[in-house]
Amino acid sequence: MSSPNRPTAIRGPALTFTGDPFRDGIERTLVHEPDAIVAMRDGRITHFGPAAQVAPLLPTGIEIRDFGKDALISAGFIDTHVHFPQTPMIASHGAQLLDWLDRYTFPTELKFADRAYTRRVARAFLQENLRNGITTSCVYCTVHAHSADILFEEAEALGLRLAAGKVLMDRNAPDGLRDGAQSGYDDSLALIRKWHGRGRLLYAITPRFAGTSSPEQLAAAGALWRAHPDCLMQTHIAETQAEVAWIKELFPERSGYLDVYDHHGLCGKRAVFGHGIWLGDDELERLHAADAAIAHCPTSNFFLGSGMFDIARAKHADRPVRVGLGTDIGAGTSFSILQTLNEAYKAAQLNRNPLSAAHAYYLATRGSAAALHLEDKVGSIAPGMEADLVVLDMRSTPLIAFRMDEARDFAEQLFIQMILGDDRAVQATYVAGRRVHGS
């Protein structure tokens, strides 16, 4: 593995974004360099641009790894919604959301009382991320405080930028998976003090969703976030129609699902709401005003039959909402961001709003960074940014190579990758300038 402290560089075609193509258009925001150099030192990007211009500026004798013309260098992929404890139960058959939680999720998460088991899953989860080019993620742990401790320890050892939080859950869950409003507050506060802002790690205050937290716990989570507003806050919202109806039964005094969170101080900047398929227009308006984000999790939504998130509606120019991409393992069916984009394209098609490849790659990189309010640190390639990168092989399978011979332009090449590509396309993954996967 390469060292992050000495200067190093990689060369090949590169893609990045300077802004939001949903708002400003592709032509003004997409940067495609057919032959680029990205130079790195001390975990940050020092140079980026056409190879002929950058090469003379680099220190004498710097190592430049040339990935060739069939590669594509991109900012590392970002996953804004994922459950690391559900890695062992990915591909569990035959239930929709609420039954699926009872049948598969909760029994699996009970196993995380065992610290050794927790560490084994955390390591497998993080290695699978790196194998798929995911360099930043926003992660749900279990109700056990040590599940967050262990994940942070393993992420720190890899130098990852990662946000995570222990789940808050004090009702409608089995014995062994419930905390209390006060104990959940105390455990989360201790984790914030230990981990938030340590290296590249961030804490995400994590009420699982309104169905498994009492009003008292939601209020405690809101109070904790007010005391630590630079933390993220993550939860689920409006994933299925049955869930929306249940939340209305639990909170009849509130005007809607988002209002449950808003009432308890849980709707604001750095809030990341998973799914959001069945939100009303007034709720999208409120998310826009609050500068909060939605994590779009298409493989999970299709797998559980939850519905089709309409990204074009969420990004409407009159009140655009920050939107990131989520694998949502384990209801999500793949760690591959390319496969997740494949399903995002299908969701957009079913909503009669086609998603271009450029918009999709923005969503997987700078867009997801913006959803986490980290766009000044990760998600794009530019001097001063943290040196998290993925290098794709644009001809990773015989079928893709065959299809690429027929591609008319770069946009079509990108589209081929997100429809046909998977983990085999990831040649190398760099974290803070250090190669952690690939050759």
Domains of the chain by range and CATH? Answer: 8-76+380-438 (2.30.40.10), 77-335 (3.20.20.140)
Judge residue 70's burial from the number of C-beta atoms within 10 Å of its C-beta, 0-12 exposed, 13-18 middle, 19 or more buried.
middle
Q: Is it the case that residue 389 has pLDDT exceeding 70?
A: yes
CB of 125 within 8 A of CB of 418? Answer: no
Q: How far, in Å, CA of 203 to CA of 23, rounded?
A: 29
b vs e for 415-427, b when ≥16 Cβ sit within 10 Å of the residue's Cβ? bbbbbbbbbebbb
Residues contacting 54, CB < 8 A, separation 6+: 9, 36, 37, 39, 47, 48
- 301 phi and psi, to 5 degrees? -60, -40
CB neighbours of residue 68 within 10 Å: 11
Q: How far, in Å, CA of 140 to CA of 154, rounded?
A: 15
Rounded to an integer, what is the distance from CA 233 to the centroid of its chain?
Answer: 14
CB of 325 within 8 A of CB of 342? Answer: no
For range 128-145, the mean pLDDT:
98
pTM above 0.95, yes or no: yes
For range 167-196, the mean pLDDT:
98
Calculate the dihedral angle through the C-alpha atoms of 344, 339, 159, 141, rounding to the nearest 10 degrees: 70
pLDDT digits (tens, 9 = 90+) for 246-280: 999 999 999 999 999 999 999 999 999 999 999 99
Which of 342, 339, 369, 351 has its CA nearest to residue 314? Answer: 351
Q: How far, in Å, CA of 296 to CA of 319, rounded?
A: 17
Q: Residue 299's pLDDT is what?
A: 98
For range 165-192, the mean pLDDT:
98
* Residues paired with 38 in a beta bridge: 10, 48
Kind of pairing between the strands at 232-237 and 201-207: parallel
Residue carrying structure tokens 């404890």: 85
pLDDT band at 100 (very low <50, low <70, confident <90, very high): confident
Q: Is it the case that residue 5 has pLDDT exceeding 80?
A: no
In percent, the amount of the chain with pLDDT more than 70 equals 99
Residue carrying structure tokens 């262990």: 150
Q: Residue 98's pLDDT is what?
A: 86
> Both tokens of residue 290?
């609050």
CA terminus-to-terminus distance, the chain: 9
pLDDT digits (tens, 9 = 90+) for 51-80: 999 999 999 999 999 999 999 999 999 999
Q: How far, in Å, CA of 364 to CA of 76, rounded?
A: 9
Q: Is it the case that residue 122 has pLDDT exceeding 60?
A: yes
> Both tokens of residue 208?
């699982």
Handedness of CA 130, 165, 271, 282 (dihedral sign): positive
- 381 phi and psi, to 5 degrees? -105, 115
Q: Residue 3's pLDDT is what?
A: 53
CB of 303 within 8 A of CB of 332? Answer: yes
CB of 151 within 8 A of CB of 169? Answer: no
**H/E element holding 244?**
helix 241-250
Q: Helix (H, G, I), strand (E, B), or coil: what is residue 397?
A: coil
Q: Is it the case that residue 94 has pLDDT exceeding 90?
A: no
